[in-house]
Amino acid sequence: MRFLYNFLTYLLLIPLAVYWISGGIVNRSYRDRLMQRFGFGFPKLQDSIWIHAVSVGEVQAAVPLIHVLMQRFPLQKIIVTTVTPTGASRVVELFGEAVVHCYMPFEFPNAIRSFFTSVKPRVAMIMETEIWPNLYRGCGVRSIPLILVSARISPKSIPGYRRLVPLIRETLSHGIIIAAQSQADASRFLELGADPERTHVTGNIKFDIEFDQAIVSRGKQLRSALFACRPVWIAVSTHRGEEQQVLEAHRILLKAHPDLLLVLVPRHPERFPEVRELIEKSSFTVVSRTSDQPATASTEVFLVNTMGEVPLFFAASDISFIGGSLVPIGGHNLLEPAIQELPIITGLYLFNTEEIAENFVKHDACVVVANGVELAAAVLVLLDDPDEATKMGKRGLKVVEQNSGSLQRLLVLLEPLLNSQAID
């Protein structure tokens, strides 16, 4: 089965090359260190601590872990790999040159071999669930300890994995430590052949999100400078097909609150021009973040067309809607607004953040809506009842606090590996 798997990966080489090269014509970020995708141009490191975070969400979840590792192992070089250019940008924004960033190569044996030859990690950590047979095997044959951090497997993915049980079982047999989000996730890994002695329930590291008072203070100042005293709701990480529903909701809301401002933050930067065009075609007056202009009394939508400023604009808003949830994307991070005690609204499509969302719903810490009309109704309730909005925000913060602690449980597994190898 491994031979068949590798044969298929090589068959995909040409389509992948065409996809990334053609993508680079439209989006210049796809050209960034393109050869790393195919196994060339990696930095030369020795005994590094390697963390793989696919995109922005995983990078954000890894922030507290990276900070702790930098404090406890100051002489150890940390390398962070991502798949998406937006994830790469977030690494640079957060850490600058304090960590090394490179792109994760495609799952070709030669590319994986080249990565390990250059980077030579001492310990590897992969955020959430990325089951890649060649990558895992590369760690195993080199005796590199590998921890799956906040590991999860959705029930929907189990049937697909079962078809590949021999390959998955062999993949999970290389001394991998699984730090599962929940007992249910741990059970699913065991069902696929994980080692019971190396499978642990540590919780979701995303709940260990760091609160930055400086960002909140800057956000309040930003609100005063840009939005004056207007009520503000924010829609973040929106996708194609979702902005139209958000704008529909805003049109309804303006009838009851003519001074209400919508702050709109699309998920992907390459869509910023497209979203601005949609706003203008929908007959809303709009100001973009990069224009450095405040929203006037006639401005109806403020478009955030920059990266890395979402926490800042959360602090400048009264109510939040988290995108990727009115369309079948699977939802995005509910914890960033919760840590700032911001009331949260989300859509029905939450399969990428199912357990976190269920926790929030269970404790009345968010509102789930099905479409733009329901979104407008939910925002209106919170605008008209600020006491309930405040209480909802406090309930959200409490959910975060009650579920934190995963990082410390992870360090119990990680530190012996680093310390023992340091002695060796």
- DSSP per-residue codes, 316-367: T-SEEEESSTTTTT----SHHHHHTT--EEE-S--TTSHHHHHHHHHTT--E
- Lowest mean pLDDT of 30-34, 294-298, 365-369, name the range: 30-34
Q: What is the mean pLDDT of the chain?
A: 91
User: Which of residues 218 and 174 earns the better pLDDT score?
Assistant: 218
Does residue 270 carry a catalytic annotation?
A: no
Q: Are 246 and 262 in contact (CB under 8 A)?
A: yes
Longest CA span, the chain: 69
CATH code given to domain 27-203+405-423: 3.40.50.11720
Instruction: Please check the confidence at residue 243 and state whether its pLDDT lies above 90.
Output: yes
One-letter identity of residue 8: L
Q: Is 37 exposed, middle or buried (0-12, 13-18, 19+ CB in 10 A)?
A: buried
Q: Is the overall model pTM greater than 0.75, yes or no?
A: yes
Q: Are 403 and 359 in contact (CB under 8 A)?
A: yes
Q: Which two tokens stand for residue 268?
A: 């992907």
57-78 pLDDT per residue, tens: 899 899 999 999 999 999 889 9
* C-alpha pair distances (Å), 26 with each of 17, 30, 37, 349: 15, 9, 18, 29
User: Which of residues 159 and 150 earns the better pLDDT score?
Assistant: 150
Q: What is the pLDDT of residue 421?
A: 52
Give the pLDDT band of residue 423 (cuts 50, 70, 90).
very low
Instruction: Please check the confidence at residue 99 and state whether its pLDDT lies above 60.
Output: yes
Question: Looking at residue 414, what DSSP letter applies?
Answer: H
Give the Cα separation of 384 and 145 in Å (integer): 54
Give the Cα separation of 396 and 406 in Å (integer): 18
- Antiparallel, parallel or unpaired: β 301-303 and 319-322: unpaired
274-331 pLDDT per residue, tens: 999 999 999 999 999 999 889 999 999 999 999 889 999 999 999 999 999 999 999 9
Sheet holding 286-288, edge to edge: 286-288, 301-303, 261-266, 232-238, 319-322, 344-346, 367-368
- Lowest mean pLDDT of 171-175, 302-306, 330-334, name the range: 171-175
- Antiparallel, parallel or unpaired: β 319-322 and 344-346: parallel
Percent of the chain whose pLDDT exceeds 70: 98
Describe the crossing of helices 133-141 and 109-119 by its angle, rounded to 10 degrees: 40
Q: What is the pLDDT of residue 46?
A: 87
Q: What is the mean pLDDT of residues 374-399?
A: 98
Q: What is the pLDDT of residue 15?
A: 84
Q: What is the mean pLDDT of residues 333-351?
A: 96
Instruction: Choose the catalytic residue: 58, 243, 336, 374.
Output: 58
Q: Which of 100, 126, 123, 87 is nearest to 44 (CA)?
A: 100
Give the side-chain half-sphere CA count within 13 A for 300.
19
110-131 pLDDT per residue, tens: 999 999 999 999 999 999 876 7
In this chain, the answer to whether the domains covering 27-203+405-423 and 214-403 adopt an identical fold is yes
Q: What is the mean pLDDT of residues 407-421?
A: 87
Domain ranges of the chain: 27-203+405-423, 214-403
Q: Are 319 and 379 in contact (CB under 8 A)?
A: yes
Q: What pairs with residue 149 in β-bridges?
A: 127, 179
Q: What is the mean pLDDT of residues 324-347?
A: 96
Q: What is the pLDDT of residue 91?
A: 94
Q: What is the pLDDT of residue 420?
A: 63
Domain boundaries 214-403, CATH class: alpha beta
Q: Are 196 and 190 in contact (CB under 8 A)?
A: yes
Give the pLDDT band of residue 253 (cuts 50, 70, 90).
very high
Q: Which of 221, 216, 230 is nearest to 315 (CA)?
A: 216
Q: Are 336 and 311 in contact (CB under 8 A)?
A: yes
Give the Cα separation of 51 and 122 in Å (integer): 11
Q: What is the pLDDT of residue 323?
A: 97
Q: Are 50 and 79 in contact (CB under 8 A)?
A: yes
Radius of gyration of the chain (CA): 22
Give the Cα separation of 212 and 416 in Å (integer): 30
Give the side-chain half-sphere CA count within 13 A for 125.
29
User: Which of residues 231 and 134 earns the better pLDDT score?
Assistant: 231
Give the Cα separation of 277 and 268 in Å (integer): 15
Instruction: Please check the confidence at residue 405 and state whether its pLDDT lies above 80.
Output: yes
